A and B are shown apart, each in its own frame.
Chain A
Amino acid sequence: MSVRTGDAGSGVVGAIALVGLEAHPVRVECVRSPGLPALRLVGLPDAAVREAADRVRTAVVRSDLVWPRDRVVVNLAPADLPKVGSGFDLPLALSVLAASGQLPHRALDGTVAIGEVGLDGRVRGVAGTLPMALGARRHGAVRVLVAPERVREAALVEGLEVVAVADLAEAVAVLAGRRPARAHPEGVTSGIGSAPGRGAGVTGGGGLGTGHRAGGGDGGDLADVRGQFVARRALELAAAGDHHLLLVGPPGCGKTMLARRLHGVLPDLGPEMALEVLAIHSLAGEPVDASAATRRPPLREPHHGVSLAGLVGGGSGVPRPGEVSLAHRGVLLLDELLETPRHVLDALRQPLERGEVVLTRSSARVAYPARVQLVAATNPCPCGLLGHPTRACTCPPDRVARYRARLSGPLVDRIDLAVELAPLTRRELEVRAPGEATTTVAARVAAARALAAARWGPGTTNRDVGVARLRADAGGRMVERLAGAVERLGGSARAFERALRVARSAADLDGAERVAAEHVDEALGLSATLAR
């Protein structure tokens, strides 16, 4: 960003305005002119930015700096871009100080300032620091000024000098060269961690750790799940092929437990992807503590009472990201899927299809990335006891039929893998042998993912590869075998495509170059556990 300080009597500081995740460079220009002392702020500021005038003036005075005794006009250019939030306080204050000669010329060249300023002059961090820093680098800035608590976050951006300033006085001193920039806390280095490895534990900070914590991530270890062999296999296939997964089973059979553990077997994210994810979390005001952050994909688990805005994003003014965006590149776990209101579920169709959510409001049109792996769990019937060996389901059959009909809606049709869990009681499950551990399964999943990436190209998985390529890859004989069996079992064209995708994942887990009959049959067997 070509930010250059102006002539005497004026000052220019770089800032970033976020519209959604999109970072737009903003020039904060201050000009002094003769007249009664006053501050005028122009350039489409919102209420929080307008309040900055009062905060900044008090802060400057209380930091033993001088507020100019003439008319001050601050322009936020470009004027047609909406500016939101308190992050413009710091650039605003610095532009005034530069215009009044309290900062040397050129001290602010190539610098973007991000931060809110308190009445006492203290600099506070703002949400979205990471996407702002990413935007600053993209637009040519070489240095960002941020509050100390946001240093780790901003330092994730490689090739950007991050300067922590605790208050206005320190900012002036550092920029004027009167004081060296404070040393970063131990372990903060530039960029994102580059040596992923399982079980490495959280790195000492700096960049992104790759800690695949012993126990396999947030969801617990797969070894805790006893029995449910079929569902475990479905889970492994889902992880290998990046398929959406639906688990249907009575309460207490472990479906939620399993659903959470899918996250644990997923491979780490690449550095770019991890940054993408953290940028969204930063914007949403979620903690982005780089020292504890790992390159694990996110796992989000909204309650089934979640609102439409909470799930896909929304809110007044510039819409905020919802759970589906916070789960970007990770797992969105929807427990009690069929308890979620239909209109909320239907809103998930766009993100599942396009990998992003587009939210349009009067003030802005925002697109948030939302490429998620959906893992859903639901009861087999409203009372949950359908198919239970010893307890009676109290639902009338037509109510069950209506309930299960929802399992074939447009949303659920996008779920490649659906599996019915055995109605086993906790006690029955307890006597069963513990299954394989997360790390064992994760290794197989990683190998399968590597095969898929080599075949389809990086970033493309069995879930989203075009069906034509999938058919060509499987070959005519296998396609025929599958089509014939699907027809005999009364399946639809959708069922055929789903089984074809799952068959490819089965082959990948097998380390097989070509899809074989065994893989096709397994996919059919799984698809038949829950007729849709």
Chain B
Amino acid sequence: MSGVHVPVLGPVARHDLDEVAAPGTDPELLLALVTCAAGHGPGPGALRRRARELPTAALGEDRGIDPRPTLRAVLGPSGSPDAVAVPLAVAGTDAVATDARRGIADALARWAALGVRAAVVGDPAYPARLAAGWPDVAAPLFVAWRGVPPAEAGASVAIVGARAASGYGRAIAAWLAEAVADAGARVVSGGAVGIDAAAHEAALELPGGTTVVLGCGHAVPYPREHARVGGLFERVLDHGGTVLSELLPMTAPRPAVVRTRNRVLAGLADVVVVVEGGARSGALLTAGAAAELDRTLLAVPGDVRAPGSAAPHLLLAEGAAPCTGPADVLAALGPRGTPPGAGSAGRPGPPRDPTPVTAASLLPDAARTVLADAWPRPVLLESLAERSGLPVATLLAAVARARAAGEVLAGPDGLHLSRGPVGR
């Protein structure tokens, strides 16, 4: 077993490395792991295997408490009692080494340019929940984040679901996320459109805040509408949230990569809620990881005819707890998640704003009644026209006003009230 050949960095890259390494993180160890991730050393699986095979004697009592000495041992040149000795760096001079050096320097530069910080498993800035159990559990060897360090997040709830979400799914995700963040707990979800986006949007301005776990590197603008200036990610960061990735900055969102991302999602959370997803949704993988990691798993029941109910119903059949409202989530979170006045937030209905919305409604009564009866399910504009009996021209005008005022939200499957009707 030979050690990892870590490139000798130039002064600029060295500066970038020092900037990226979070407080309490050993830049040399981070560099060694980045080198491995770039394909110039053993993969994470191989490192875990080596770590498990490592004779206990080499590490003494530290084994299992702090992964860092173990990592040093498996990364360093082995076969001698000095195996754990730093420096790990072995200068390479051939073409491959030059290439590797360039690639790694580029990754560090991109991170530094984006203001990314990174920490190695076991570091103080690395979330302890995620690190727990390594090497027996597949935690990422390093995480890179923008915004608030992920280790500072307290109780966390992962709210996950499919990109192709229904209006119902998005409304529920927003409802749960709002209650969770309002109670001071962190909302964790992916960076995709659909359920993920709905959860972040609802929670990002509230005390708990949100953590976005990317399925790609920080420098990949995916999905485009979230990564753009003024997009979801920027707003999450502006409001004290975190955007996190366990990948090198230019890693593209391939399915295999997104799958390991789902482990991180579950690992960061205390409770995992699956809102919506098809029979082959990635949400099931997150649920699987949650079960493996012994996280509390909740699933939101849906319309039995809707394709997006397949994943939560499968999980319910397999023993997940049903999530019938924010109260279930907060209860699962335990005392840590109980907000000062939790009672009201747990009831279905508007979690924060108890003022009756009917008073200021911009919709004709006939239309509002139809939407209120259906809430939180969306109603097609077409059905609204039919059921309310209003002339289409009138209805279109009223809906336009209500949408501009935020009373009504529109999605591909129809319109729904942004807040539930009072007294339901």
Footprint of B on A, CB under 8 Å? 227-233, 380, 386-387, 389-393, 397-398, 400, 421-424, 432, 485, 488-489, 506, 517-522, 524-526, 528-529
Contacts and interface: CB of A to CB of B under 8 A. Distances in A.
Contacts of A393: 164, 307
B187 to A, nearest CB: 21
B306 to A, nearest CB: 7
B366 to A, nearest CB: 14
A526 B223 CA distance: 28
A521 B401 contact: yes
Given A488-B404, A489-B403, A528-B403, A229 B392 contact: yes
Given A392-B278, A521-B398, A522-B396, A230 B412 contact: no
B120 to A, nearest CB: 33
Contacts of A518: 393-394, 397
Interface of B: 163-164, 192-194, 223, 278, 305-307, 380-383, 385-386, 392-401, 403-404, 410, 412-413
B400 A521 contact: yes
B397 A528 contact: no
B396 A389 contact: no
Given A389-B306, A390-B305, A397-B194, A422 B383 contact: yes
A246 B68 CA distance: 61
A157 B395 CA distance: 49
Contacts of A526: 396
Contacts of A421: 382
A423 B414 CA distance: 10
A230 B382 contact: yes
Interface SS majority for chain A: helix
A227 B386 contact: yes
B194 A422 contact: no
A488 B193 CA distance: 21
24 contacts: A227-B382, A229-B386, A230-B385, A230-B392, A230-B396, A389-B306, A397-B193, A400-B164, A421-B382, A422-B381, A485-B400, A485-B404, A517-B397, A519-B397, A522-B400, A524-B400, A525-B396, A525-B399, A525-B400, A525-B403, A526-B396, A528-B399, A528-B403, A528-B410
A432 B396 contact: no
Q: What does DSSP make chain B's interface, helix, strand, loop or mixed?
A: helix
B413 A391 contact: no
A228 B413 contact: no
B113 to A, nearest CB: 26
B303 to A, nearest CB: 8
B397 A230 contact: no
Nearest to A509: B393
Contacts of A432: 386
B127 to A, nearest CB: 29
Given A233-B392, A485-B404, A524-B396, 12 more contacts: A227-B386, A233-B396, A386-B412, A387-B412, A390-B305, A390-B306, A422-B380, A432-B386, A518-B394, A521-B400, A525-B399, A525-B403
A49 to B, nearest CB: 59
A339 B398 CA distance: 35
A422 B386 CA distance: 12
List 8 A-B pairs, minimum CB-CB distance, nearest first. A525-B396, A422-B382, A392-B307, A521-B397, A525-B400, A524-B400, A233-B392, A397-B163
A389 B305 CA distance: 8
Contacts of B194: 397
B305 A525 contact: no
A532 to B, nearest CB: 13
Contacts of B413: 387, 389
B135 to A, nearest CB: 35
B163 A230 contact: no
Contact of B382 (A228, A398, A488, A519): A228
Nearest to A433: B386
Contacts of B403: 489, 525, 528
A392 B280 CA distance: 12
A478 B223 CA distance: 36
A400 B381 CA distance: 21
A54 B412 CA distance: 68
A386 B413 CA distance: 9
A525 B385 CA distance: 13
A466 to B, nearest CB: 25
Contact of A522 (B380, B381, B393): B393
Contacts of A424: 382
Contacts of A522: 393-394, 396-397, 400
Nearest to A404: B412
A525 B383 CA distance: 15
Contacts of B164: 386, 393, 397, 400
A233 B410 CA distance: 19
Nearest to B411: A387
B400 A528 contact: yes
Contacts of B385: 229-230
A298 to B, nearest CB: 29
Given A397-B193, A522-B397, A525-B397, A391 B382 contact: no
Nearest to B279: A392
Contacts of B383: 422
A522 B163 CA distance: 31
Nearest to B167: A387
A232 B410 CA distance: 20
B261 to A, nearest CB: 16
Nearest to A386: B412
Contact of A524 (B163, B223, B306, B404): B404
A307 B381 CA distance: 37
A251 B332 CA distance: 44
A506 B400 CA distance: 15
A134 to B, nearest CB: 43
A528 to B, nearest CB: 6
A390 B306 CA distance: 5
A522 B403 CA distance: 12
Most buried by B among A229, A423, A488: A229
B381 A230 contact: yes
A392 B278 CA distance: 9
Contacts of A389: 305-306, 413
A331 B410 CA distance: 32
> Most chain-B CB neighbours within 10 Å: which of A228, A390, A397?
A397
Interface centre among B306, B385, B392, B398 (most CB of A within 10 A): B392
A382 B122 CA distance: 47
Nearest to B310: A392
Given A229-B392, A422-B383, A522-B396, A489 B404 contact: yes
B393 A506 contact: yes
A96 B42 CA distance: 96
Nearest to A529: B381
Q: Which of B163, B164, B396, B410 has the most CB of A within 10 A?
A: B396
A525 B395 contact: yes
A193 B94 CA distance: 90
B384 to A, nearest CB: 9
Most-contacted residue by chain B among A421, A518, A521 (CB, 10 A): A521
A233 B382 contact: no
Contacts of A227: 382, 386
A332 to B, nearest CB: 26
B89 to A, nearest CB: 41
Contacts of B306: 389-390
Nearest to A516: B397
Contacts of A423: 380
Contacts of B397: 517-522, 524-525
Contacts of B278: 392
